[in-house]
Structure 1
Amino acid sequence: MPLKSSLCYSVALATVATATLAPVASAATFNFSYTSSLGTITATVDGTLQPDNNTVFVSSISNTTFNGSPAPALPLTGSFVAFVSGSLTGQAVLSLDGSGLDFIACNTTNCNDGFGFLTAGIIFPVDLFASGAGYGSVSVGEPFVLANYSLTTVPEPATVLGLLSVAGVGLLCKGRKLEG
C-alpha cells in the first residue's frame, strides 16, 4: 500500500473513531412548536432525553414566540398535574412523538401566563392544551392535536463538526486517489 494511501487510511480511521467514541451527552436542546386554534407557539427547550429516546425531562424553555412575535418569558416549568393539584412543582415532561405529555411553562408560580399540555387519563378524558393571554388564551383548554406538535433535537456542534471532518477526510483521500 503506498504511503499516501496508508496515511490517508490511518487519518480516516482515527477521525471516524474519534467521532464515534466521543461521549454522548444526555442533555440536549430541542426546537419546539405547537399550533393551537389561536396561533403558533415556538420555543427552544433544554432538557434531558431519557433512555427510551422519546421522553424529555424539561429543565428550561426560552426564546418563546407566539405567531412569530416574542412572547412572555417562561422561567418556570413543572408538571401540569401538580399545577392542577395546586402547585407549580414536579418534573415537566415532553416527548418527541407527542405522547406522555405532562408539561406547564409559566411566568410566575401562579402561572399568570404560559402554556401547558396534559395526556388523557391523568386528570381529563382527552389530551389537552391550555394557554394564557400571551399565548392565545385557551385558558379552559382545547383538545391537543398531535399533527400540530413538533419537538425535534437540535444537532450538537460537536456532532456536526465530527461529520464534517469525516467528509473532509473522505474528500481528501478521494482527491489523492485520483492524483495517484
Structure 2
Amino acid sequence: MPLKSSFCYSVALATVATATLAPVASAATFNFSYTSSLGTITATVDGTLQPDNNTVFVSSISNTTFNGSPAPALPLTGSYVDSILAGGVVTGQAVLSLDGSGLDFVACNTTNCNDGFGFLPAGLIGPVDLFASVGGYGSLPGGEPFVLANYSLTPVPEPATVLGLLSVAGVGLLCKGRKLEK
C-alpha cells in the first residue's frame, strides 16, 4: 500500500473512531412549533432529553414568536397539571416530548399567567389533550383539542456533532481526491 494511501486510510480510521467513540450528549436545545386555531407559536426550548429518547424535561423557553412576530417573554415554565392543582401558581416539572405524547407543560410571563400557553394532558379536566393560550399568544383560555400534526419539537444539533460530521466528510473527500491522482 503506497504511503499516501496508508496515511489517508489511517486518518480516516482515526476520524471515524473518534466520532463513533466520543460520548453522546443529550441534546440540550430544541426548536419548538405549534399551530393552534389562532396562529403559530415558535420558540427555542432548553431542556434535558430523558433516557427514553423522547421525553424532554424543560428548563426554559426563549425566542418566542406568535404568527411570526416577537411574543412576550415566558420566564416561568412548569407542569400544567401541578399548576392547576396549586391554584394557578406555575409549579412542577415542565414536560414536552419529541413525538407529542405525554405533554404536561405551561409557560407564563408571571405566576398568574397574563401571557403564555400550555399543553394539558387528558384526564384532569377532559377526555382529550388540550392546548390553551392567553394574552400575546392568542386567547384560548378554555383550550382546544391538541392536534398532533400541528406540533413539532426537534433537537438542534450541537456544534461539536456538526464539526465531527464535517471532518469525516473532509477526510472522505481527501481520500477520494488522492485516489483520483493515481
Give the TM interval when normalised to the shorter protein: over 0.9
Matches of 2:7 and 2:67, distance apart in 1? 54
Match of 1:30 in 2: 30
RMSD: 1.0
Aligned partner (choices 119, 122, 125) of residue 120 of structure 1? 122
Match of 1:13 in 2: 13
Match of 2:171 in 1: 169
Q: What amino acid does structure 2 have at the position aligned with 1:4?
A: K
Q: Mark the CA change 1:122 to 1:27 in structure 2 (over 3 Å): closer, same or farther.
A: farther
Match of 1:57 in 2: 57
The offset of 1:107, in angstroms, is 0.4
Q: How many residues align?
A: 180
CA deviations on 1:55-111 (whole Å, 9 max, x unpaired) are 000010000000000000001100000111123111100001100000000101111
Question: Percent sequence identity over matched residues?
Answer: 89
TM-score (norm 1): 0.97
CA deviations on 1:8-48 (whole Å, 9 max, x unpaired) are 01100111111112222224111000000100000000111
Q: Which ranges in structure 2 are unaligned for 5 or more consecutive residues?
A: none
Aligned partner (choices 140, 146, 149) of residue 147 of structure 1? 149
Q: Mark the CA change 1:107 to 1:18 in structure 2 (over 3 Å): closer, same or farther.
A: same
Q: Is the 8 A contact 2:80 2:106 kept in 1?
A: yes
Q: Is the 8 A contact 2:117 2:134 kept in 1?
A: yes
Alignment of 1:128-147 (within 5 A): 128-147=130-149
Q: Which ranges in structure 1 are unaligned for 5 or more consecutive residues?
A: none
Matches of 1:27 and 1:8, distance apart in 2? 32
Q: What amino acid does structure 2 have at the position aligned with 1:56?
A: V
